[in-house]
Amino acid sequence: MGSRASTLLREEEIEEIKKETGFSHSQITRLYSRFSSLDKGENGTLSREDFQRIPELAINPLGDRIINAFFPESEDQVNFRGFMRTLAHFRPIEDNEKNKDHTASEPLNSRTNKLLFAFRLYDLDRDDKISRDELLQVLRMMVGVNISDEQLGSIADRTIQEADQNGDSSISFNEFIKVLEKVDVEQKMSIRFLH
Amino acid sequence: MPPSLGHAGSSSSSSLVHLLSPLPLSTSYSLPLLSPTLSPSSLLLSPPPISYYLLQHYVQTPYIISVWLLLASLAKILFHLSQRFTTVVPESCMLILLGLVLGGVVLLAHEKQLYQLEPGLFFLFLLPTIVGDAGYFMPSRLFFDNLGAITLYAVVGTLWNAFCTAFCLYGVKLLGVIDEKVDAGLMDFLLFGALISAVDPVAVIAVFEEVHVNDTLFIIVFGESLLNDAVTVVLYKVYMSFVEVGPANVGTAECMKGLVSFLVVSLGGTLVGLVFAVILSFTTRFTKKVRIIEPLFVFLLVYLAYLTAELCSLSAILSMTFCGIGANKYVEANISQKSRTTVKYTMKTLASIAETIIFIFLGISAMDKTKWAWDTGLVACTLVFILLFRAMGVIGQTWVLNRFRLVPLDRIDQVVMSYGGLRGAVAFALVVLLDGEKVKAKDYFVATTIVVVFFTVMFQGLTIKPLVKWLKVPRSTNRKPTINEEIHERAFDHILTAVEDIAGLQGYHHWRDKWEQFDKKYLSKLLLRKSVYQKSELWEAYQKINMRDAISVIDQGGNVLTSRLSLPSMASRSSFPEVTNVTNYLRENGSGVCLDLQVIDNVPGARVEEDSETHHFLTGNLYKPRRRYQSHYSRHFMPAGEQERQEREVFQRNMRSRMENFKTSRHKRHKKDRSQKKVFLLYLRLGSQGVGVEGNYLPKSTALEACDSPSMASPTCGERFLPWKVGAGSLPPCVSVEATKVIPVDLQQAWNQSISSLESISSPLNLNPNPRVTALSPSSVIPNPNLRFMALPPPTLNPNSNLRVVALPPPALNPNPRFSVLSRLAGQRPVSSPPCSFSQSEKEQQKEEEEALSEQQQEEQPLMSVRPPAPPLSSTPGERRRNPCVYLRSLVTVPPAGNTETHSRGPTQL
């Protein structure tokens, strides 16, 4: 599937991506030029270093986690298709998609998939549970140094306690969905990609 | 453009008197004292001394104002007597109707309307209170998320409305639909269009806050009503100047001037507001020592922002709004919890009463036939045009907006927005301000404005609720974010920012993130207290949630985690600070609230009639309502400030000690997590009882007092009213069965933990805790029969009876034995021979007492040391002070009722 070393995107590839991700033609070409500009090695794939070169990402507290989310397990390269697949999570849900019957496979930008993306950022060991330590790590990233371990610990305890339903002192994905069910995830996990 | 045309530019200083001085007393003869027309001649004729009159006269204005305020407030009470009625009819409608009735009465009595909604009074006092409240409590994130839409609607929408209405009215006039009597040219209609087209913040707030549409919809309409002020002010002023110079002399230069002045007025107003926001935030950095006037700074500076902008004939509403929005974050972080509550409720009270007055006076003003001049054609056309152009404007702008919006505004939203374009008192005040000499058709305009205002507020206000229901507009849920939502939404923000960066978009999140970086680096550093700046936002949010839970624990009778309700009624506010520390304990001990839930489940907490009982019960049990410190009054000193620090201290210390425990037992933690939780339940129980006592006792109570305190010895309100407290076999609320069941699993550790936690409350910071640890180490405590009793309920024993005994000593208990126990527990410290381990601590404490004057140090100091030194126990009531250690031990070892063992028990554990 790769667009290896080719600087131009083939038409059928665009069609495939369009079908898979729901991005429009112009969005795909626009993002492809972005992809190419990030791709310093010019080999059609992005490595972690390519991402880390984005200056704003370096100061993003969750930057590393988000970069990791772009890479499939045990791989350190991502091609344009994978890149787009990840970005598709953040496509806003459009009106005509809302009413679509769910017989087809769930679109990447569905509520569940958006939440799953966020969940995976916490769930480092991929056991489908956010343990206290995992939560603490993310909290630590987000709050900086001003807050003490004890305080952070109590926040983590409280968080888990609030979300935990089956009493295993960790947050499963279902519990994660449940605890955020009142949040307008569709809006808060979407960005406007330029047309 | 003469700046004197500012819309509050009338003789505002005297407007208060203008408005209120004439009295509706038909028989001024019988009450000459209150007659407003006291001429010197009448004074000469009447026999009483002049000073008598002067005095009465002197009182008159404030007296009348107060009576009006009282009347308005009473009216509010009356409307809310019937719950069904108020859900259907908005309050603003009722107030206007009441105003109409009152106006009618006055008119009948006097044949002349004495009261008016004076523009000066309105713009100088009534409007700022409402706008100040709106700005300060504006949900800023929501506001800035929708800033683009709000600005578009406020600027383009208002301009569109103003021009279209004006030109169409002029066209209709030319067609002859409007009567010839209405002597108005294009300029007059443009002026009228400008003042009638702006959506009114007062009306929008009054109507929309009862409708509860979803947040986005609300913020767009509400934000528009605030931001369109700049447009209104400019248009109004420009046309006024046009009218003055005459339409013939208006050229492009004037129009350009108008455009420039729009930029100056809007941006200048915003800038003034932001400058004041910075001043306000910066000032509150240093109000630590003058807590009592802390809220005043907020009011003053926000009001000054309004006045300053008005003075420079900039947009005052914009200025005040942005001052509120800008300062809110920093001020809220800087000022104390109490000041926060004060600010909140004072603002809400003022805004609410101002709103009431405005609507009543709108009604009254309408009953003034001298100002009316009716023309059906004008009124009907204006109404039609206003509704029509509002709808068209909204649809057009939304179409443009939706091309850029992440979440498009759908049809239903547009309908509500069109229908929510309410006009109100601002329009009325502006039209009254018109100069009748220059604007010939003023009277017609006044009548039309009144009809428009009444139509929008009453008819639309009345029907918008059914409309919203019928259209199934997503309603707002009045709920606060949970800690999970706080955390995850923050994570979402970071994720979106990162994704925007990766995708190479300079979108909203990109700029928001830039702003936050800037805020963190410079603004917060400048405007926040050092102590606050150090804290993390997340931690603040966490604490806020804790506070909120604390309140709802008390109010709901327990189930905080399952049901999140909106903030409780004001009535329970009195218990707020005391309650906080209790729930900090609950929170801090993990499943504390669940425990509460379990115990207090018996209470049908949601029901209104039982709410107060629950409240009484909890206040009676969770803290002891003995407040000696209230007996002395000081204007500059609030003893509760200490308490607040104590609460924080207790909270943090316990958190720390708990973390220590976690650390030491880290390797076992996963296995023991559950059991530990249970263990904490017990401590929690002790703690919550204890904290309650401490919260109120600490300042000046003694051991003696603690013993014969009503809460310990006599049943509290709750005990009397709540069934399980009366029933013999029922469970006392203070200890749960579950807790007692599980405790034996991990007894030794449990005791270690609960004791050390208690220890950490009591021990001063730099004190070596060892002496006391030995005094209360588990092994040494065990000899105490009570403790063992509580800790190890024999399985065969009915736990209920034991525990009830522990928790609720019957009223007949003789206080003395307990006192003796306490003193013995306290390390056998009668007046003569304090043990050395304690004399050291006392010295330490004395020293700290002396240093306690320094505020900073007080914060650093441990919980207890801020109190006056603990002198040796003596029987002199005036000197009743108690060592915290003594006191805390009493918590650990509350003796069973009438347990004679307590007498014989020696101080072996020491």
Q: Which of residues 86-105 of A touch B (CB under 8 A)?
A: 87, 90, 92, 95
Residues of chain B found within 8 Å of residue A95, distances taken between Cβ atoms: 408, 410
Encode pLDDT of B121-147 as tens digits: 899 999 999 999 999 998 888 899 889
| Residues belonging to chain A | 195
Q: Which of residues 129-188 of B touch A (CB under 8 A)?
A: none
Q: How far apart are the first and last CA of chain B?
A: 86
Residue B323 has which token pair?
Answer: 């001052």
Residue B566 has which token pair?
Answer: 């909106």
Residues of chain B found within 8 Å of residue A151, distances taken between Cβ atoms: 536, 539, 542, 652, 655
Encode pLDDT of B201-210 as tens digits: 888 888 888 8
* Cβ B439 vs Cβ B428: under 8 Å: no
**Facing residue for A157 by CB, picked from B496, B503, B590:** B590
Which of B129-133, B384-388, B399-403, B677-681 bottoms out in mean pLDDT, i.e. has the lowest?
Answer: B677-681
Pairing of strands A45-47, A77-79: antiparallel
Q: A129: helix, coil or strand?
A: strand
| Residues belonging to chain B | 910
Encode pLDDT of B530-561 as tens digits: 777 766 677 777 777 777 777 777 776 654 44
Residue B381 has which token pair?
Answer: 């056309």
Mean pLDDT of B257-285: 91
Mean pLDDT of B95-117: 83
On whether any CB of chain B is under 8 Å from the CB of A157, the answer is yes
On whether any CB of chain A is under 8 Å from the CB of B509, the answer is yes
**Residues β-bridged to residue A171:** A130
Query: B668 versus B554: which is more confidently predicted?
Result: B554
Predicted pLDDT at B558: 52
Among A158, A159, A60, smallest CA distance to B495 is for: A60
Encode pLDDT of A26-73 as tens digits: 888 888 888 888 888 778 888 888 888 887 777 788 888 888 888 877
pLDDT at position A130 over 80: yes
What element of type H or E holds B844? helix B836-851
Encode pLDDT of B478-487 as tens digits: 667 777 887 8
pLDDT at position B102 over 70: yes
CB contact under 8 A, A117 and B495: yes
CB contact under 8 A, A118 and B492: yes
Q: Which of residues 609-628 of B touch A (CB under 8 A)?
A: none
How far is A163 from A160, CA to CA, in rounded Å?
Answer: 5
Predicted pLDDT at B15: 38
From the CA of A63, how many Å to the nearest CA of chain B? 6
How far is B18 from B115, CA to CA, in rounded Å?
Answer: 8
**Residues β-bridged to residue A45:** A79
**Facing residue for A62 by CB, picked from B405, B494, B536:** B494
Residue of A nearest to B660 (CA): A150
Q: Three-state SS across B652-700?
A: HHHHHHHHHHHHHCHHHHHHHHHHHHHHHHHHHHHHHHHHHHHHHHCCC
Predicted pLDDT at A80: 85
* Cβ B623 vs Cβ B579: under 8 Å: yes
On whether any CB of chain B is under 8 Å from the CB of A12, the answer is no
On whether any CB of chain A is under 8 Å from the CB of B837, the answer is no
Percentage of chain B beyond pLDDT 70 is 54
Question: CB within 8 A of B367, min separation 6: which ones?
Answer: B100, B103, B104, B106, B107, B113
On whether any CB of chain A is under 8 Å from the CB of B407, the answer is yes
Among B684, B599, B676, B560, smallest CA distance to A169 is for: B676
What element of type H or E holds B886? helix B884-892
Q: A79: helix, coil or strand?
A: strand
Inter-CA distances, B372 with B113, B368, B375, B422, B441, Å: 12, 7, 10, 22, 10
Query: A62 versus B849: which is more confidently predicted?
Result: A62
Residues of chain B found within 8 Å of residue A31, distances taken between Cβ atoms: 503-504
CB contact under 8 A, B535 and A147: yes
pLDDT at position B477 over 80: no
Residues of chain B found within 8 Å of residue A124, distances taken between Cβ atoms: none
DSSP code at position B406: S
Among B277, B309, B310, B278, smallest CA distance to B136 is for: B277
How far is A47 from A116, CA to CA, in rounded Å?
Answer: 23
Residues of chain A found within 8 Å of residue B595, distances taken between Cβ atoms: none
Q: Which of residues 22-61 of A touch B (CB under 8 A)?
A: 31, 34, 37-38, 51, 54, 56-57, 59-61
From the CA of A159, how many Å to the nearest CA of chain B? 6
Encode pLDDT of B858-869 as tens digits: 444 444 433 444
pLDDT at position B171 over 50: yes
On whether any CB of chain B is under 8 Å from the CB of A14, the answer is no
Mutation target for A interface from B146, B403, B499: give the one with most A CBs within 10 A: B499
CB contact under 8 A, A146 and B535: yes
On whether any CB of chain A is under 8 Å from the CB of B588, the answer is yes
Among B658, B333, B487, B648, smallest CA distance to A143 is for: B487
Residue B657 banded pLDDT, cuts 50, 70, 90: low
pLDDT at position B7 over 70: no
On whether any CB of chain A is under 8 Å from the CB of B488, the answer is yes
> Given its phi and psi angles, is residue A5 left (phi above 0), alpha (psi -120 to 50 degrees) or beta?
left
How far is B661 from B654, CA to CA, in rounded Å?
Answer: 10
What single string gives the DSSP state of each residue in B194-224? HHHHSPPHHHHHHHHHHH-B-HHHHHHHHHH
Residues of chain B found within 8 Å of residue A187, distances taken between Cβ atoms: 406-407
Residues of chain B found within 8 Å of residue A108, distances taken between Cβ atoms: none
pLDDT at position B182 over 70: yes
pLDDT at position B380 over 80: yes
Predicted pLDDT at A4: 42
CB contact under 8 A, B502 and A31: no
Residue of A nearest to B406 (CA): A192
Predicted pLDDT at B862: 42
Query: B631 versus B148: which is more confidently predicted?
Result: B148
Predicted pLDDT at B892: 41
pLDDT at position B44 over 70: no
Neighbours of B44 (CB within 10 A): 9
Pairing of strands A171-172, A129-130: antiparallel
Residue of A nearest to B655 (CA): A150
On whether any CB of chain A is under 8 Å from the CB of B408, the answer is yes
What element of type H or E holds A26? helix A25-38
CB contact under 8 A, B484 and A163: yes
* Cβ A136 vs Cβ A156: under 8 Å: yes
How far is B576 from B553, CA to CA, in rounded Å?
Answer: 11
CB contact under 8 A, A57 and B488: no
ipTM: 0.90
Mean pLDDT of B557-568: 44
Residue B91 banded pLDDT, cuts 50, 70, 90: confident
Residue of A nearest to B487 (CA): A139
How far is B562 from B598, CA to CA, in rounded Å?
Answer: 12
On whether any CB of chain B is under 8 Å from the CB of A167, the answer is yes
The number of angstroms, rounded, from the C-alpha of A85 to the middle of its chain's C-alpha atoms is 9
Q: A94: helix, coil or strand?
A: coil
